[in-house]
């Protein structure tokens, strides 16, 4: 396996970038090539992706595909899917795909389906238990973001008379306002933690248990359940109902496991199985489609093209569906915790950039906040639009407005507007003190700014499953080419260790041996 920058394809891409990439104008490319939309449109399960409004053409794709081949992307993918320990720094396999395979298929099928069946039967029993009005998931990172995002996306399937809540922050301002609204004997707490050691989750779990007892709550066994790989620690906490999973499921890849319990309660077992089936359909596409037609692969290659050749530092995600409001936050962990790495598998520092910053808000809200910068700022930020054809609400007119906005934004980013065009228009709020030529400069748009648009038929359990799996495999693809370990997260450890060292000082006020800044701040916070 070769790291991307050591390949002949990388050198060829560099040449291609200098000759065609740097100056590529997609408006000219559309004028030249009537088949551009067709040749840069990709079909995958549940997702159509239009890549034609990007700074590349089929020649660029050929170079990128050569890079994938030379980096043995398919062999790397197959090793992961077979269950080889590709997470080398933790000595673990990476098998979230096994969680959504049908019974009898792939590694660990028997144990996966045993827990899944139990978990789903339990979820349905909670869902139909009218004595439970509120379910609170206490977890953070992968034990929060995925389930929270999917519960929101599939809100249409939520049971009547039962509310799902998510508490993640160590900040008591997260838990306290929620507890004030709850009735202890009508509430179920799910303590979700792969390790059952995470500071935030354990602190909130203890606070919730103390509150439960103080409210005259009885039957901890009925009102607290755990989803974890650390069944022993959950038992020590006093929890008797635990749904387990395995160390080969990474935290940010765990919504398909028992960590998905809040999803299963929110949408029911049938829909949870449909979510898994959607993801499995995308897994098969990733495993079987030829590289040139493999959507996660092509998206991962586009990410490499933008990060390493164009030098773009971020990507903005704009889901034009309010149900996907938490998708950008979920993707931040998926992509930045996976690929925010600076050494390769051998520990050597990388001479090229890795994960971009991923950020965004649902459309149209983002348009009225930061889209100004996307259209006229000094940085080029590739944008990813997600359009959903069929709404779940009855207001057809509003949905048309939403879709028109989505299409208009990618069009505006691409087309731009010259100062000459701006000069020909009457500015609605033009000041008499500004020269028309000056104003035209302010009102012009460079255009040629890249975007990808995904189209989904509807937001369903199956399509949401496929969409998330698409993102997972895309992150795998860029990580594999970069030669990094996309499945560890050592970067979060130093802060955790220093926090543990500082914690007693918050009580003692001692600043001995601290750097001057931390000492000064600690003093302000404690004296
Ligand atoms: O601190 C990072 C992290 O380890 C994430 O990778 C993980 O999703 C999160 O913390 C929560 O971990 P756990 O599920 O073990 O509580």
Coil vs helix vs strand at 383 = strand
Instruction: Give the pLDDT of residue 349.
Output: 98
Residue from 129, 246, 132, 258 nearest 191 by CA? 258
Distance from C-alpha of 335 to C-alpha of 486, rounded to nearest angstrom: 9
Q: Which atom of ligand 1 is nearest to the CA of 337?
A: 6
pLDDT at 427 over 80: no
Q: Specify whether 368 is catalytic.
A: yes
Q: Specify whether 496 is catalytic.
A: yes
pLDDT at 425 over 90: no
pLDDT at 49 over 80: yes
Across all residues in the chain, what is the average pLDDT? 97
Instruction: Give the pLDDT of residue 345.
Output: 98
State mean pLDDT over 57-81: 98
Residues with CB under 6 A from ligand 1: 140-143, 193-195, 198, 201, 251-252, 337, 489, 492
Tokens in use for 189?
């707490």
Instruction: Give the pLDDT of residue 424.
Output: 86
What is the DSSP-derived secondary structure letter of residue 103? T
Instruction: Give the pLDDT of residue 251.
Output: 98
Q: Is the pTM of this model over 0.85?
A: yes
Tokens in use for 8?
């002949």
Active-site residue, selected from the candidate residues 46, 70, 337, 361: 337
Comparing 11-15, 287-291, 361-365, 433-437, the range with the smallest average pLDDT is: 433-437
State mean pLDDT over 332-342: 98
Could you tell which of 204, 251, 332 is best to mutate to test the pocket of ligand 1, judged by most ligand atoms within 8 Å of the CB? 251
pLDDT band at residue 218 under the 50/70/90 scheme: confident
pLDDT band at residue 432 under the 50/70/90 scheme: confident
Angle between helix 58-70 and helix 73-82 axes, rounded to 10 deg: 60
Q: Which runs of E-coded beta strand occur in 39-138?
A: 41-44, 47-50, 134-138
Q: Which residue has the tokens 């933008």?
A: 306
Instruction: Give the pLDDT of residue 85.
Output: 98
Rounded to the nearest angstrom, the distance between the alpha carbon of 340 and the centre of ligand 1 is 15
Instruction: Give the pLDDT of residue 217.
Output: 87
What region, left, alpha or beta, does residue 391 occupy, with left being phi > 0 and alpha being psi -120 to 50 degrees?
beta
- Which strands make up the sheet holding 47-50, listed edge to edge? 41-44, 47-50, 451-458, 383-390, 314-320, 357-360
Active-site residue, selected from the candidate residues 368, 389, 400, 442: 368
Rounded to the nearest angstrom, the distance between the alpha carbon of 129 and the centre of ligand 1 is 30
Q: Which atom of ligand 1 is nearest to the CA of 142?
A: 8
Burial status of residue 234 (CB atoms within 10 A of its CB: 0-12, 13-18, 19 or more): buried
State mean pLDDT over 259-287: 98
> Could you report the per-residue pLDDT of 230-255, keeping only the tens digit for each?
999 999 999 999 999 999 999 999 99
pLDDT at 429 over 90: no
pLDDT band at residue 106 under the 50/70/90 scheme: very high
pLDDT at 264 over 90: yes
Q: Which atom of ligand 1 is nearest to the CA of 200?
A: 16
Rounded to the nearest angstrom, the distance between the alpha carbon of 345 and the centre of ligand 1 is 22
Could you tell which of 144, 204, 489 is best to mutate to test the pocket of ligand 1, judged by most ligand atoms within 8 Å of the CB? 489
Q: Which atom of ligand 1 is nearest to the CA of 252?
A: 8
Partnered with residue 241 across adjacent β-strands are: 225
Q: Are 73 and 480 in contact (CB under 8 A)?
A: yes
């Amino acid at each position: 396996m070769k790291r991307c920058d050591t390949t002949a394809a990388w050198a060829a891409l560099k040449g291609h970038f200098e000759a065609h990439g740097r100056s590529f104008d997609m408006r000219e490319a559309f004028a030249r090539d009537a088949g551009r939309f067709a040749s840069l449109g990709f079909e995958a399960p549940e997702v159509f992706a239009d890549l034609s409004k990007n700074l590349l053409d089929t020649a660029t794709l050929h170079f990128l595909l050569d890079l994938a081949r030379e980096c043995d992307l398919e062999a790397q993918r197959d090793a992961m899917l077979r269950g080889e320990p590709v997470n080398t720094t933790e000595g673990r396999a990476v098998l979230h795909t096994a969680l959504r395979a049908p019974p009898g298929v792939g590694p660990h099928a028997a144990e996966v389906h045993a827990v899944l069946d139990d978990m789903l039967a339990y979820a349905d029993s909670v869902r139909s238990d009218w004595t439970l009005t509120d379910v609170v998931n206490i977890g953070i990172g992968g034990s929060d973001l995925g389930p929270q995002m999917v519960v929101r996306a599939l809100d249409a399937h939520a049971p009547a008379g039962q509310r799902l809540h998510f508490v993640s922050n160590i900040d008591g301002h997260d838990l306290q306002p929620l507890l004030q609204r709850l009735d202890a004997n009508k509430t179920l707490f799910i303590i979700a933690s792969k390790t059952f050691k995470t500071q935030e989750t354990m602190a909130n779990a203890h606070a919730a248990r103390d509150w439960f007892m103080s409210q005259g709550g009885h039957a901890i066994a009925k009102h607290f359940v755990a989803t974890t790989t650390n069944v022993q620690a959950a038992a020590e906490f006093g929890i008797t109902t635990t749904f387990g999973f395995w160390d080969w499921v990474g935290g940010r890849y765990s919504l398909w496991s028992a960590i998905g319990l809040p999803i299963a309660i929110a949408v029911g077992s049938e829909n949870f199985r449909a979510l898994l089936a959607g993801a499995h359909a995308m897994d098969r596409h990733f495993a079987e489609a030829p590289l040139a037609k493999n959507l996660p692969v092509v998206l991962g290659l586009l990410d490499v093209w933008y990060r390493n050749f164009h030098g773009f530092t971020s990507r903005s995600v704009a889901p034009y569906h309010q149900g996907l409001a938490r998708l950008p936050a979920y993707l931040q962990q998926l992509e930045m915790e996976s690929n925010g790495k600076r050494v390769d598998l051998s520990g050597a520092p990388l001479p090229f950039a890795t994960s971009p910053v991923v950020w965004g808000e649902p459309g149209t809200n983002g348009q009225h906040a930061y889209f100004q910068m996307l259209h006229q700022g000094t940085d080029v930020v590739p944008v990813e639009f997600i359009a959903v054809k069929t709404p779940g609400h009855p207001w057809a007119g509003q949905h048309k407005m939403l879709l028109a906005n989505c299409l208009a934004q990618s069009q505006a980013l691409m087309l731009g507007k010259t100062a000459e065009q701006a000069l020909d228009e009457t500015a609605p709020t033009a000041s008499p003190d500004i020269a028309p030529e000056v104003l035209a400069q302010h009102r012009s748009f460079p255009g040629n700014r890249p975007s990808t648009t995904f189209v989904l038929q509807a937001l369903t359990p199956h399509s949401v499953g496929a969409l998330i799996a698409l993102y997972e495999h895309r992150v795998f693809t860029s990580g594999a080419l970069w030669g990094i370990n996309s499945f560890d997260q050592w970067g979060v450890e130093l802060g955790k260790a220093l926090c543990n060292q500082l914690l007693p000082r918050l009580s003692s006020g001692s600043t001995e041996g601290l750097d001057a800044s931390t000492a000064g701040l600690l003093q302000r916070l404690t004296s």
